[in-house]
């Protein structure tokens, strides 16, 4: 055995020497092309990996059907509608004002001509609604966001925070776009800290009205989508102020939501007391008309209070089924979690488009190759595989994770189960933050992977990157959302030791605290066989072990620092540790859902392709954080090296089925709209764009 190992090491060293010599030779040829290669060096050939290098045959139709699920028909209907309407397709060069009008016409076309009514699914079939949003966003991301503002935010606030009277009055107008609206939460001085909003809604018992006021410039509603041009109504979040008979004279009941008309229904002129300014040209999403709103003693009927969680009677008496301001605030924000769910899901859609463009281009583009032989596809280079194959695997991982999130959200909307509400709140915060951050970075990697051609606006990376960038900020700043996940993990950690129950997503912590925190098995830390490393149990155990260690350590650190710094100071001292903990937990959830999706795939060939991608995702993440595993002796040096080698091999194997994997997204040429990614005659398409 020892002799064989020594021979293997010698062979490896000899192979490394040959590779180094070839690289020096190739560099010399670039510097002095006249040099002829020395005959002693064999030609570079693609290394085969014996029987296991055989290309996997994948049933693309079966994989696509499994990926796209039950709502692919309505997505196809959307693609076909916009493909048949050149006048509703967004050109590369378009002014801000023209883009806004086009975006509104695109939405009107979807609803009034194609007959697709997204609002009808917001509450009753969220899975279908998010499928529509993914398809619409692939046509133009501004259109996806504008649709979300109209239906998820403005419409969603009315049906989720209001009662039957509001639904009866506003539903049809929101649905058919007669009642275009805004979601006026963010202020100039307050974004993430919603409880700190300063706009006021003071009840006037003599006239049975609320008076909406912007008390100072910092309270101006800012970045409000649909406000600058098209909105007729706004859901305004303001502090509810009630008159009292004590020495204070008034009582602040906390932030509530109110329906405030901002433009005349017939003339579309701004209503008295409402001031609207345009936020102007943005980095991206310029088809969405963001504006700023100031209110100067704007009066609205008492019935315009969205009163599901708190109401005011004719005589000014306040009633609520929830006892405290914090409880009411939590319930209000809990009903708005659909926006985060939608952004996480939409971000995966953007990732699919960018990965498809970059990978199709990389399969087509050829550069260099062995002397006197044809040039090779740039996706055959290990460096290009390293950029794009883990990304492709991650795209699949995030797809299944966000599908799971949408399913849990749909279940929550039907059951209103308290534990499920808490679970979805934390999971949506984590996935929205994690996925949008990843996609933002991936867009730059894809652009770079396509070289100079990736810099052409027609190939979409610039617009995708600019439009998607804000996904990291709206519906909750990503850093703030990760802190919410970490806080929830610490809460579950505390409950575990007090005998509390854990919701489904967090249930692994119960076992991990008892099992994974024990000393690593000295035998298994050295196992390096492929079967072991590709075993889902090893992969998931590794992810869970890391999360459990981080959780235990940060809990101890917080307890230590809180004695001298107080709660806020201790949290700030441990903040980076907390963010790492939250990301680790979300990665664990993502992997668990990916493993489950592989297990449930009915087609053997599709299942094999998904298993390759899942293994690559898991081992790539372990390798990226190998220092953590080495520091606690969870992985021995020989095992770490084996993980790295297997990750490279899996990247090569995924490359062999990359076409099938991206084709399964079923993004036709008119959806990707990037000439360099056209599946037939791409270069001809590209040269036509520039006028040849």
CA distance 454 to 457: 8
DSSP codes, 136-199: HHHH-HHHHHHHIIIIIIIIHHHHHHS-HHHHHHHHHHHHTTSS-EEEE--BSS-SS-GGG---
Q: Beta partners for 235?
A: 183, 259
The answer to whether the CB of 560 falls within 8 A of the CB of 576 is no
DSSP3 helix / strand / coil % (the chain, rounded to 5): 65, 10, 30
- DSSP structural state of residue 113: I
Reply yes or no on whether 375 is catalytic: no
209-213 vs 298-301, strand pairing mode: antiparallel
The answer to whether the CB of 565 falls within 8 A of the CB of 573 is yes
3-state secondary structure of 250: strand
Tokens of 155: 């419409």
CA distance 560 to 130: 44
List CB contacts of 477: < 8 A, sequence separation 6 or more: 191, 192
The answer to whether the CB of 292 falls within 8 A of the CB of 277 is yes
Nearest residue to 647 via CA among 618, 614, 608, 619: 619
User: Can you give the length of the chain in residues?
Assistant: 692
Tokens of 539: 């992969």
Tokens of 260: 């405030």
Catalytic residue among 187, 209, 335, 475: 475
3-state secondary structure of 246: coil
The answer to whether the CB of 305 falls within 8 A of the CB of 295 is no
CA distance 275 to 262: 9
The answer to whether the CB of 468 falls within 8 A of the CB of 352 is no
The answer to whether the CB of 676 falls within 8 A of the CB of 459 is yes
Nearest residue to 139 via CA among 438, 432, 350: 350
CA distance 436 to 421: 22
Nearest residue to 61 via CA among 660, 677, 678: 660
Residue with tokens 């539903």: 171
| Catalytic residue annotation | 475
């Amino acid at each position: 055995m020892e002799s064989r190992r020594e021979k293997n090491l010698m062979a490896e060293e000899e192979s490394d020497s040959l590779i180094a010599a070839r690289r020096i030779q190739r560099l010399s040829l670039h510097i002095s092309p006249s040099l002829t290669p020395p005959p002693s060096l064999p030609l570079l050939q693609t290394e085969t990996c014996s029987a296991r290098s055989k290309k996997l045959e994948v049933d693309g139709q079966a994989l696509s059907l499994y990926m796209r699920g039950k709502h692919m028909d309505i997505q196809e209907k959307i693609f076909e509608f916009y493909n048949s309407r050149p006048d509703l397709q967004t050109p590369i060069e378009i002014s801000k004002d023209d883009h806004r009008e086009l975006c509104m016409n695109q939405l009107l076309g979807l609803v009034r001509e194609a007959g697709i009514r997204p609002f009808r699914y917001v509450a009753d079939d969220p899975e279908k609604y998010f499928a529509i949003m993914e398809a619409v966003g692939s046509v133009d991301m501004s259109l996806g966001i504008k649709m979300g503002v109209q239906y998820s935010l403005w419409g969603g606030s009315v049906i989720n925070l209001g009662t039957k009277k509001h639904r009866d009055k506003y539903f049809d107008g929101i649905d058919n776009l007669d009642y275009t609206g805004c979601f006026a939460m963010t202020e100039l001085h307050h974004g993430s800290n919603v409880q700190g909003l300063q706009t006021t809604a003071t009840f006037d018992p003599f006239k049975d009205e609320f008076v909406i006021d912007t008390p100072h410039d910092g309270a101006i509603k800012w970045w409000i989508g649909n406000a600058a041009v098209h909105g007729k109504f706004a859901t305004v979040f303001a502090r509810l102020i009630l008159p009292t008979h004590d020495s204070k004279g008034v009582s602040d009941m906390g932030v509530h939501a109110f329906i405030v008309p901002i433009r005349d229904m017939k003339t579309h002129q701004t209503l008295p007391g409402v001031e609207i300014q345009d936020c102007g040209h943005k980095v991206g999403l310029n088809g969405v008309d963001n504006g700023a709103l100031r209110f100067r003693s704007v009066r609205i009927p008492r019935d315009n209070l969205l009163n599901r969680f708190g109401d005011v009677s004719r005589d000014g008496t306040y009633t609520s089924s929830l006892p405290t301001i914090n409880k009411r605030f939590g319930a209000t924000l809990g009903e708005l979690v659909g926006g985060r769910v939608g952004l996480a899901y939409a971000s995966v859609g953007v990732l699919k488009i960018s990965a498809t463009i970059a990978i199709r281009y990389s399969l087509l583009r050829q550069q260099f190759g062995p002397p006197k032989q044809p040039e090779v596809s740039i996706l055959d280079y290990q460096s290009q595989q390293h950029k794009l194959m883990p990304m492709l695997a991650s795209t699949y991982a995030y797809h299944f994770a966000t599908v799971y999130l949408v399913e849990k959200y749909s279940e929550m909307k039907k059951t209103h189960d308290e534990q499920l509400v808490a679970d979805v709140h934390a999971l949506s915060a984590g996935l929205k933050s994690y996925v949008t951050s990843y996609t933002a970075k991936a867009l730059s990697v894809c652009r770079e992977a396509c070289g100079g051609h990736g810099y052409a606006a027609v190939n979409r990376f610039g617009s995708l990157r600019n439009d998607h960038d804000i996904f990291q900020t709206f519906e909750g700043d990503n850093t703030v959302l990760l802190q919410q996940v970490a806080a929830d993990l610490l809460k579950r950690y505390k409950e575990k030791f007090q005998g509390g129950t854990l919701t489904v997503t967090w249930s692994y912590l119960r076992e991990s605290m008892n099992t994974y925190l024990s000393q690593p098995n000295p035998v298994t830390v050295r196992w390096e066989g492929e079967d072991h490393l590709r075993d889902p149990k090893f992969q998931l155990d590794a992810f869970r072990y890391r999360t459990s260690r981080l959780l235990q350590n940060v809990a101890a650190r917080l307890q230590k620092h809180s004695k001298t710094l107080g709660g806020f100071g201790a949290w700030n001292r441990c903040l980076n540790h907390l963010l790492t903990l939250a990301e680790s937990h979300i990665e664990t959830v993502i992997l668990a859902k990916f493993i489950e999706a592989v297990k449930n795939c009915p087609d053997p060939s599709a299942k094999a392709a998904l298993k390759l991608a899942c293994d690559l995702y898991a081992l790539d993440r372990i390798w990226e954080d190998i220092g953590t595993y080495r520091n606690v002796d969870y992985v021995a040096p020989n095992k770490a090296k084996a993980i790295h080698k297997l990750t490279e091999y899996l990247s090569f194997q995924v490359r062999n089925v990359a076409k099938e994997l991206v084709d399964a997204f079923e993004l036709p040429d008119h959806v990707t709209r990037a000439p360099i990614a056209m599946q037939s005659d791409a270069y001809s398409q590209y040269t036509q764009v520039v006028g040849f």
